[in-house]
């Protein structure tokens, strides 16, 4: 596959070019915030505050960038004059666009979304368009998928044929290596159909992490991709308190245990799981690549929501052997993630550790935004057809309370969506610069994203409440959106209160917890 070449501004750049690239950072928050009327998306200072100057460098001259107040005044003046705002929004000149890594080339848009959409690629748009085309079929098959406990074979085959499971695989192994904004748009589109479908796509994006491991493991991982239907890898209990156990043996490790929440395990070619390892007087935590033939799936995924995510446990029935090349010491995980850019092209592998792990949170919150959009679509359709129990209107759409609910829901998901896509764009931009979030920024970012997810769920629940008891029918997608959203937001790495405590400790000057990234514990530090 021919890969277009772009100049890179990564960790290998000179100090001078690194300094210049920071000055060239575009105002990612401007256009989308205005379009969604989301002032919160315009003003979040986390990363902007650590950049040394809000200026651009062009032809040797420093030119002042627009401030938020200048932007708002200009936009207000444009509205008063009846002008189209496109020409007055701050657009960094083409000469200031940062270098982009090799991979599917992002396409610049001339719309109001231009600054925010700079990292959307043609391949990402193709996959998002394909995902939208599957929405209604996914929604139709969702009740059956819940009963089965996993997606229908038809949808898994459609995902495979479209290339969704390869979206984050390295270009060098036949994938697309898409960045955060691209996969956020895909997750959002799938979420409009059904949450479990979007979650299964999320399972496939785990290739971003495992492809960064040593070449012998990665070669064996991709040796099974030809003709495989489903995600190439799935995993569970990597960062959990309870994992498997591994003891040193000749040429590898003797492993046994149980791994929970292994989403997508029935359709995966390989399974990953955490293990507490011992080697003489040494010990630590590891991530293991396991052959599905060596473990047994358990029928223990019986929950209130996300039933179709195939998140049952797996267990060993006898000790199994895992060779050394399938064993990754968790203490070395940051090194592998931070050096992936030296091996692979594409935005997926330019992101550093914190940004890379935060991409998973972005993806899941984008799915929640899509679910809220899907819920609003269902509500709009049903409100035109159904007669309310009370008051005596001909249709639910005529009720003032329904109109208020629809307006509020649209605002909630708009603010949530603006926040999620802002972070997606920021992750891609940091990847281009070869930079990462600080611990404070990452902690607050995860909290912001979980709050955005809660806003999306609030929108779903508001619509469900207004629709009435008919919305509780198992044949009605609204109740499934609500149940699934509750389960997603109960995930250990996505609970708002837990994430707020992690960031709040830092805000109040308390010693920070030992965290890895993305709201996950640092298992590598637990010796």
The answer to whether residues 470 and 386 touch, using CB atoms and an 8 Å cutoff, is yes
Outline where 434-525 has alpha helix (H): 439-467, 477-488, 496-507
Residue 306 within any structural domain of the chain: yes
The answer to whether residues 234 and 271 touch, using CB atoms and an 8 Å cutoff, is yes
Residue 488 within any structural domain of the chain: yes
Residue 104 within any structural domain of the chain: no
Residue 22 within any structural domain of the chain: no
Largest interatomic CA distance in the chain: 78
For residue 181 the two structure tokens come to 């904004």
Residue 126 within any structural domain of the chain: yes
Residue 189 within any structural domain of the chain: yes
Residue 364 within any structural domain of the chain: yes
Q: Whose structure tokens read 């929405």?
A: 135
Pairing of strands 270-279, 233-236: parallel
Alpha-carbon torsion, ordered 470, 474, 476, 477, to 10 deg: 140
Residue 372 within any structural domain of the chain: yes
Strand (E) or helix (H) holding 322: strand 320-323
Q: In which domain, by residue range, is 357 found?
A: 119-527
For residue 63 the two structure tokens come to 């030119």
Instruction: State how far the Cα of 509 lies from the Cα of 526, in Å rounded to an integer.
Output: 24
Residue 467 sits in a domain whose CATH number is 1.20.140.10
Instruction: State how far the Cα of 370 lies from the Cα of 191, in Å rounded to an integer.
Output: 5
pLDDT in tens, the chain (527 residues): 444 333 333 344 443 344 333 333 443 433 333 333 333 443 344 454 444 333 433 334 444 444 444 544 554 555 455 544 444 444 444 443 444 555 665 554 433 344 457 899 999 999 999 999 999 999 999 999 999 999 999 999 999 999 999 999 999 999 999 999 999 999 999 999 999 999 999 999 999 999 999 999 999 999 999 999 999 999 987 777 778 999 999 999 999 999 999 999 999 999 999 999 999 999 999 999 999 999 999 999 999 999 999 999 999 999 999 999 999 999 999 999 999 999 999 999 999 999 999 999 999 999 999 999 999 999 999 999 999 988 999 999 999 999 999 999 999 999 999 999 999 999 999 999 999 999 999 999 999 999 999 999 999 999 999 999 888 988 899 999 999 999 999 998 899 999 999 999 999 999 988 876 666 666 565 55
Pairing of strands 282-290, 270-279: antiparallel
The answer to whether residues 440 and 55 touch, using CB atoms and an 8 Å cutoff, is no
**315-327, pLDDT tens digit by residue?**
999 999 999 999 9
Number of separate helices (H) and strands (E) present in the chain? 16, 12
Instruction: State how far the Cα of 42 lies from the Cα of 68, in Å rounded to an integer.
Output: 7
Instruction: Domain count for the chain, please give it.
Output: 1
For residue 389 the two structure tokens come to 């129990």
Q: What phi and psi values does residue 62 have, to the nearest 5 degrees? A: -90, 120
Cis before residue 403, ω within 30 degrees of 0? no
């Amino acid at each position: 596959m021919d890969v277009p070449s772009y100049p890179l501004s990564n960790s290998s750049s000179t100090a001078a070019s690194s300094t210049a690239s920071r000055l060239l950072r575009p105002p990612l928050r401007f256009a989308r915030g205005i379009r969604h009327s989301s002032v919160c998306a315009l003003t979040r200072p986390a990363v902007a505050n650590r950049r040394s100057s809000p200026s651009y460098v062009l032809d040797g001259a420093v030119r002042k960038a627009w401030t938020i107040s200048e932007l708002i005044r200009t936009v207000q003046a444009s509205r008063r004059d009846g002008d189209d705002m496109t020409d007055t929004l701050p657009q960094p000149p083409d000469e200031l666009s940062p270098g982009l890594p090799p991979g599917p080339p992002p396409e610049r848009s001339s719309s109001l979304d231009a600054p925010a959409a700079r990292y959307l690629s043609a391949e990402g748009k193709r996959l998002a368009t394909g995902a939208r085309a599957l929405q209604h079929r996914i929604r139709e098959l969702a009740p059956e998928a819940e009963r089965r406990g996993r997606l229908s074979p038809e949808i898994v085959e459609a995902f495979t044929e479209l290339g969704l499971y390869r979206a984050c695989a390295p270009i060098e192994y036949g994938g697309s290596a898409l960045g955060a904004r691209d996969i956020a748009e895909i997750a959002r589109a799938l979420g409009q159909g059904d949450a479990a479908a979007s979650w299964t796509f999320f399972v496939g994006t785990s290739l971003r992490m495992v492809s960064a491991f040593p070449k012998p493991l990665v070669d064996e991982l991709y040796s099974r991709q030809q003709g495989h239907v489903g995600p190439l890898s799935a995993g569970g209990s990597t960062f959990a308190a309870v994992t498997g156990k591994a003891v040193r043996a000749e040429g590898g490790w003797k492993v046994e245990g149980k791994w929970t929440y292994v989403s997508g395990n029935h359709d995966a070619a390989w399974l990953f799981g955490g293990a507490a390892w011992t080697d003489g007087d040494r010990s630590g935590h590891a991530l293991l690549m396991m052959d599905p033939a060596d473990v047994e799936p358990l029928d223990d995924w019986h929950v209130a929501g996300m039933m179709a995510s195939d998140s049952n446990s797996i267990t060993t029935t006898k000790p199994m052997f895992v060779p050394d090349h399938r064993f990754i010491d968790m203490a070395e995980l940051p090194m592998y993630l931070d050096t992936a850019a030296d091996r692979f092209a594409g935005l997926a592998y330019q992101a550093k550790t914190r940004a890379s792990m935060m991409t998973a949170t972005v993806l899941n919150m984008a799915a929640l935004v899509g679910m809220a959009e899907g819920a609003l679509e269902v509500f709009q359709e049903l409100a035109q057809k159904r007669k309310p129990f009370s008051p005596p209107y001909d249709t639910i759409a005529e009720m003032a309370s329904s109109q208020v609910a629809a307006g509020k829901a649209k605002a909630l998901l708009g603010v949530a969506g603006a926040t999620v896509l802002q972070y997606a764009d920021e992750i891609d931009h940091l990847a281009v610069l070869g930079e990462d979030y600080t611990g404070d920024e990452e902690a607050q970012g995860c909290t912001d994203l979980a709050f955005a997810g809660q806003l999306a769920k609030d929108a779903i629940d508001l619509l469900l409440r207004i629709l009435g008891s008919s919305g509780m029918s198992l044949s009605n997608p609204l109740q499934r959106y609500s149940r699934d959203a509750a389960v997603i937001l109960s995930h250990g790495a996505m609970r708002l209160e837990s994430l707020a405590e992690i960031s709040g400790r830092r805000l109040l000057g308390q010693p920070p917890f030992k965290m890895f990234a993305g709201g996950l514990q640092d298992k590598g530090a637990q010796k």
